[in-house]
Amino acid sequence: MTATRQPQTLFDKVWDAHVVTRREDGAELLFIDRHLVHEGSFHAFNKLKEKRAKVRRPDLTIGVADHYVPTRTRALSEVAPDIAGMIRQLDDNCRANAIRMFGFDDPRQGIVHVIGPEQGLTLPGLTMVCGDSHTSTHGAFGALAFGIGASEVAHVLLTQTLWQKRPKRMRITVDGATAPGITAKDIALSIIARIGADGAQGHAIEYAGSAIRALTMEGRLTLCNLSIESGARCGMIAPDETTFAYVRGRPLAPAGDVLDGAIAAWRELTSDADAAFDRAVLLDGKDIAPTVTWGISPEDALPIGASVPDPAAMDDASRASHVREALDYMGLAPGQALDTIRIDRVFIGSCTNSRIEDLRAAASVLAGRTARVPGLVSPGSHLVKQQAEQEGLDRIFIAAGLDWVGPGCSMCVGMNGDLVPSGERCASTTNRNFKGRQGPGARTHLMSPAMVAAAAIAGHLTDVRPLLRSAS
């Protein structure tokens, strides 16, 4: 008698296809299809050196220089010796282990979570890990992708496997059409504000619904990138025709009959109709407005027409304490209207929002206008930079008064020379507004590229939609 197969989620299909063995404690050994390493992976390489071991599968390991890469020079001799040393160390480690390297001098170099999809290394159904929490970005393709710690990086380098305990499953559905001017960043921040910074703790998220299907691949990458900010282990979107069209023609992606066969298999990577989820969340696309953060966590997000919350009016003592701490750090008053918050500078870039679609959105707002504050625009890769310059986007940014620089993590992490000065307020397209994230004492407001461009023009947080209407 044949057993009836239980309906499966997209997550379970990919997970189960990679299980090598199981332990009595419930952990499962997963085979890893892609391992991305960057400058911060040196701890793991040092462990290999101690064991006099080599990387087990260099063909499945990809090195990318991004976190420490300077954006204003292409000469390492012009940057701080410790930063230059981190970049050279990654290059040395990759060369010693015959690892494909997108290094500082490579014309394809860029942010690891930008060039993976760009080069065709990110594909549906893969398991992908990296010593970076925003590895969830790659889940936009229906890949199982998540960040890992230093000891786990070493384990993958040595074995090409990783012990993991299966997380719970959560489906977040956004149905209905979103209004003009609403982006994936607005959707993501709205979700995080709704469920909280730990609302998806212990879960793998699958994003579904008509509003998600309407997103471009670049929008889906932004959405999945921010999954970790709600506490999720990863975020995934089932691959579809949008996915397949994006993959086709990528330099390192399958081609010809191999790609056709792969697409046939990828069509099966969708949750079965009766698949069970441990938690379900539903949002209506029409209710999502341009959204900005006001505090020190991505969950501190509100529509631009709202006001900063007042802790004195809150019944939840824990939440009120967080709000007081956030207002004190951010230098804001309870009840202050968000669109009265003045800014000192802007940043457009990071693995969240530095792709060509993001730069086009910002440039469309800035075209023919002048920024009231200084700012930095850092494309996600050299190829994105090249395309933007071919389209004249760089000239729009420069004419508006912003600096057009090279690719890298830049002002998102503040470890490469690009910093927000202490006490200054930055409208930013990045993924985290934690205390000191963009530099000691820096105050960060997260929003979409178009909203950052609007803030640059106004000199304060503002709704981009009137500017979009006047430009059309």
Residue 95's contacts (CB-CB under 8 Å, 6 or more residues apart) are: 101
Question: In whole angstroms, what is the distance from residue 31 CA to residue 374 CA?
Answer: 46
**Phi and psi angles of residue 321, each rounded to the nearest 5 degrees, phi first:** -65, -40
pLDDT at 1: 43
The angle, 0 to 180 degrees and rounded to 10, between the axes of the packed helices 112-119 and 217-225 is: 150
Work out the average pLDDT over 298-306: 98
pLDDT band at 225 (very low <50, low <70, confident <90, very high): very high
Work out the average pLDDT over 270-285: 97
Closest by CA position to 187, among listed 206, 215, 168? 215
Place of tokens 């008053």: 333
Mean pLDDT of the chain: 97
Can you tell me whether residue 379 is helix, strand or coil? coil
pLDDT band at 469 (very low <50, low <70, confident <90, very high): confident
Residue 403's contacts (CB-CB under 8 Å, 6 or more residues apart) are: 374, 375, 376, 377, 397
pLDDT at 470: 75
The 10s digit of each residue's pLDDT in 341-370 is: 999 999 999 999 999 999 999 999 999 999
CATH superfamily of 292-471: Aconitase, domain 3 (3.30.499.10)
**In the chain, helix, strand, coil percent, each to 5?**
40, 20, 45
Instruction: Work out the number of other CB atoms within 10 angstroms of the CB of residue 293.
Output: 25
Residue 466 pLDDT more than 50? yes
Work out the average pLDDT over 170-188: 97
The percent of residues in the chain predicted with pLDDT above 90, rounded, is 96
Name the DSSP letter for residue 338: G
The rounded radius of gyration (Å) of the Cα atoms in the chain is 22
Q: Name the more confident of 417 and 379.
A: 379
pLDDT at 99: 98
The 10s digit of each residue's pLDDT in 136-162 is: 999 999 999 999 999 999 999 999 999
Residue 278 pLDDT more than 50? yes
pLDDT at 471: 67
DSSP bridge pairs for 99: none
Question: In whole angstroms, what is the distance from residue 340 CA to residue 323 CA?
Answer: 18
Q: Is 399 exposed, middle or buried (0-12, 13-18, 19+ CB in 10 A)?
A: middle
Closest by CA position to 108, among listed 165, 63, 168? 63
Work out the average pLDDT over 379-392: 98
Place of tokens 């046939």: 264
Question: In whole angstroms, what is the distance from residue 182 CA to residue 448 CA?
Answer: 9
Question: In whole angstroms, what is the distance from residue 275 CA to residue 168 CA?
Answer: 13
DSSP bridge pairs for 293: 301
pLDDT at 442: 97
The 10s digit of each residue's pLDDT in 44-65 is: 999 999 999 999 999 999 999 9
**C-alpha distance from residue 326 to each of 187, 300, 431 (Å):** 23, 9, 17
127-130/291-293 β-pairing: unpaired
- Helix H or strand E encompassing 19: strand 19-22
Question: In whole angstroms, what is the distance from residue 471 CA to residue 467 CA?
Answer: 6
pLDDT at 394: 98
Domain with CATH 3.30.499.10 in the chain: 10-266, 292-471
The 10s digit of each residue's pLDDT in 15-31 is: 999 999 999 999 999 99
Q: Could you tell me the two tokens for 359?
A: 């730069």
Do the Cβ atoms of 268 and 123 come closer than 8 Å? no
The percent of residues in the chain predicted with pLDDT above 70, rounded, is 99
Question: Can you say how many angstroms the Cα of residue 291 is from the centroid of all Cα atoms in its chain?
Answer: 17
- CATH pick for 10-266 out of 3.90.470.20, 3.30.565.10, 3.30.499.10, 3.40.50.10740: 3.30.499.10
Q: Could you tell me the two tokens for 405?
A: 């620089």
pLDDT at 414: 84
- Angle, CA 115 vertex, CA 110 and CA 119 arms, to 5°: 135
pTM of the model: 0.97
One-character DSSP codes across 110-132: B-HHHHHHHHT---TT-EEEESS
Residue 74 pLDDT more than 90? no
